[in-house]
Structure 1
Amino acid sequence: MRATTGIATVAALTAGLALTACGSEGGTRDGTTASKADGESITIGFSQRRLAGSDWWATLLQGAEDKAAELGAKIIVTDAGGDTVKQNSDVQTLLTRGVDAIILNPHDPTGLASAVTTTVRDDVPLVVVNGSLSDELAPHQFCYVAEDQIGVAARLGAAIAEKASERWGDEPVTAVVIGGYSGETITNLRHKGVVEGYASVEDAPEITYLPIRYGEWLPDRALTPTRDVATANPDIDIVFSLSDVMLPGIERGLRDAGALNQVLIGTYDGQMAVLRKMMENPDGPVQVNASNEPYKQGQTAVEMAVAAARGESQDEVCPGGEFFIDTFLATPENAEEHHDPQRQF
């Protein structure tokens, strides 16, 4: 993960954009006018995969809106509601409205070829945030902004392995992963990370993984599959929740099955309410939480979009086409250090 580089690059980029907003001149993407160097003349279209039911997505959007206001740019937000067809249409609508850059949080990594193709055809820079595009579509993006999902999830998996070793020694354990959607890139990367991270701990108990279940990144959708798997496997020991947003449903499902107090839970997002729970109940089921900073992701996506609209080069602001956000790993032992009551995540 390029954590230190990320901080330095964002700081330099923000400083440059602030100077621009104060009135310095510069070229544009097409070189025809100087007005695009002024943040106030830049309009960003933000195509969000879904908003309803997720504080994480709301926080991502809030970071984007706050940064756009800070830089004097305008932002137009569309909500696809979890519908790939609508998201393709949303991007077309944003392009028709003449936006200078598109920020895309894709619902389907392979299903947005139409949106990506049209954006490229119209010579509008594309910044992808949180969700990723397929290998075939990703080369068309100016920058992908997210956390290093495999790396962050691996730290989560390793930390749970250490907790499991402390609790069960060398006794074999049974685990289940609760992800978002089947076949989705985010779910696959995080799943891969927790498995690799657990395996990296030499003295960790031997682990058997039950088939992954899916909660669609929402608490109500995660409840039933969690309850079902815990009921069918009363000896379950470890649950990996690949998003804090699903955690209330996962905990309720485990409670309904009578398994909540016997499991170790490792979860992912860094929600402050979850950290507070670890502080208040350090011996409770939730023992590790890996953050992914949605507010910072939204801020950085806007910074990249404004830079691209101004004609900044990818090599200068987003080397390699990826920008990984700094994250933290919280446990009951250090949760207070990371807890910020002014934030949701």
Structure 2
Amino acid sequence: MKKLTTVLSVALLSATISSTAYAKETLALVISTLNNPFFVTMKEGAEQKADELGYQLIVLDSQNDPAKELSNVEDLNVRGAKVLLINPTDSDAVTNAIRLANRAKLPVLTLDRAASRGDVKSHIASDNVAGGLMAGDFIAEQVGSNAKVIQLEGIAGTSAARERGEGFKQAIAKHKFELLASQPADFDRTKGLNVMENLLAANPDVQAVFAQNDEMALGALRALQAANKKDVLIVGFDGTADGIKAVQAGRLSATIAQQPDAIGAIAVETADKLLNAQTIEKHIPVPLQVISE
């Protein structure tokens, strides 16, 4: 009996040592908002990869508020996070949070939206400029050059809004579109509806709408349906589940599909490489594709 007890004790000690040896570090994901399906999918991709690699992942919601974002990063000082994955609320405002992490020697990776300043080890995102141009090319294929277009912009100050707008600006020049209006609707479905209603009243001859994300595109869709404007082409951006479903149903013409789950997963993989002293790229692009009917 004594021999059996000794064997069991050794086995338990071995299991404890083994578990400790393979224990992984904690990562933190500070995300701009979880009130948007795109970022929820990004979070899920990060969680799945963290679980696969054995990391603990803390997820904090900034609720589209830079002050809340800064507070979230401040909280990480006592949570033991080894790498900060951050999806900025605003490319300029996030600088304070990143500098705070820099002072704490906490490595930073940015997801989807870049930071204007601060030490960032890597930026994981789609090529938003290319995506804006792809949206314009699709409109030209479907409607033709010289099309009369409206653009719904995202949150002013975010790199995603600037870059998607820059790509669409290139498409306007390339295809000689007539830009009737371009106005922010803050990546929000309800604001997309309200802004589109106002712009449609002033520009009833619009032929196509480029919305810088699917949420605004779906809001614009409701406004156009209410006005019985069934022939207006609508192109969204992100490739969210709701956006793709609307394309498949023939309600949206297309969405420029990002892979938010891949952005989250690649960010965790990059953090793993960083912690294992492997070389990482300063910018890691995630492919885009046009999803249409």
TM-score range, shorter chain: 0.7 to 0.9
Q: Which residue of 122, 138, 160 maps to 1:186?
A: 160
Q: Which residue of 272, 287, 293 maps to 1:326?
A: 287
Partner residue of 1:297?
263
- Alpha-carbon offset, residue 243 of structure 1: 0.8
Partner residue of 1:41?
24
Q: Give, in whole Å, the separation in 1 of the partners of 2:60 and 2:239.
A: 26
CA contact (8 A) 1:223 1:250 kept: yes
CA contact (8 A) 1:66 1:299 kept: yes
Q: SS at 2:60's partner residue?
A: strand
Q: Which residue of 34, 52, 59 maps to 1:51?
A: 34
Partner residue of 1:154?
133
- Alpha-carbon offset, residue 257 of structure 1: 3.0
- Alpha-carbon offset, residue 194 of structure 1: 1.8
Q: Which residue of 55, 68, 85 maps to 1:73?
A: 55
Q: TM-score, normalised by structure 1?
A: 0.75
Letter aligned with residue 154 of structure 1: L
Q: Which residue of 132, 139, 151 maps to 1:177?
A: 151
- Alpha-carbon offset, residue 164 of structure 1: 1.3
Letter aligned with residue 128 of structure 2: Q
Q: SS at 1:124's partner residue?
A: coil
Q: Give, in whole Å, the separation in 2 of the partners of 1:280 and 1:256.
A: 18
- Alpha-carbon offset, residue 276 of structure 1: 4.2
Q: Give, in whole Å, the separation in 1 of the partners of 2:202 and 2:172.
A: 24
Q: 1:152–1:94: structure 2 CA closer, same or farther, 3 Å change rule?
A: same
- Alpha-carbon offset, residue 300 of structure 1: 0.6
Partner residue of 1:317?
280
Q: Give, in whole Å, the separation in 1 of the partners of 2:157 and 2:93.
A: 12
Q: SS at 2:205's partner residue?
A: coil
Partner residue of 1:336?
none
Task: Give the structure, 1 or 2, with the largest relative contact order (CA under 8 Å, sep 6 or more).
Answer: 1
Q: Which residue of 211, 215, 218 maps to 2:188?
A: 218
Partner residue of 1:262?
231
Q: SS at 2:163's partner residue?
A: helix
Larger Rg: 2
User: What does 1:107-146 correspond to in 2, within 5 Å?
Assistant: 107-134=89-116, 136-137=117-118, 140-146=119-125
Q: Gapped runs of 5+ residues in structure 1? A: 1-22, 25-33, 333-345
Q: 1:258–1:231: structure 2 CA closer, same or farther, 3 Å change rule?
A: farther
- Alpha-carbon offset, residue 280 of structure 1: 4.1
Which has the larger strand fraction? 2
Q: Give, in whole Å, the separation in 2 of the partners of 1:271 and 1:117.
A: 32
Q: SS at 1:109's partner residue?
A: coil
Letter aligned with residue 50 of structure 1: T
CA contact (8 A) 1:269 1:292 kept: yes
CA contact (8 A) 1:222 1:246 kept: yes
Q: Give, in whole Å, the separation in 2 of the partners of 1:184 and 1:94.
A: 23
Q: SS at 1:94's partner residue?
A: helix
- Alpha-carbon offset, residue 262 of structure 1: 2.5
Q: 1:115–1:272: structure 2 CA closer, same or farther, 3 Å change rule?
A: closer
Q: Give, in whole Å, the separation in 2 of the partners of 1:255 and 1:222.
A: 13
- Alpha-carbon offset, residue 255 of structure 1: 2.1
Partner residue of 2:170?
196
Q: Give, in whole Å, the separation in 1 of the partners of 2:160 and 2:238.
A: 12
User: What does 1:229-268 correspond to in 2, within 5 Å?
Assistant: 229-259=199-229, 261-268=230-237
- Alpha-carbon offset, residue 109 of structure 1: 1.0
Q: Give, in whole Å, the separation in 2 of the partners of 1:81 and 1:213.
A: 22
Q: Give, in whole Å, the separation in 2 of the partners of 1:248 and 1:93.
A: 36
Q: 1:66–1:186: structure 2 CA closer, same or farther, 3 Å change rule?
A: same
Alignment length, in residue pairs? 276
CA contact (8 A) 2:217 2:235 kept: no
- Alpha-carbon offset, residue 198 of structure 1: 4.5
Runs of 4+ aligned structure 1 residues displaced above 6 Å come to none
- Alpha-carbon offset, residue 112 of structure 1: 2.2
Q: SS at 2:81's partner residue?
A: coil
- Alpha-carbon offset, residue 183 of structure 1: 3.3
- Alpha-carbon offset, residue 272 of structure 1: 4.2
Letter aligned with residue 76 of structure 1: I
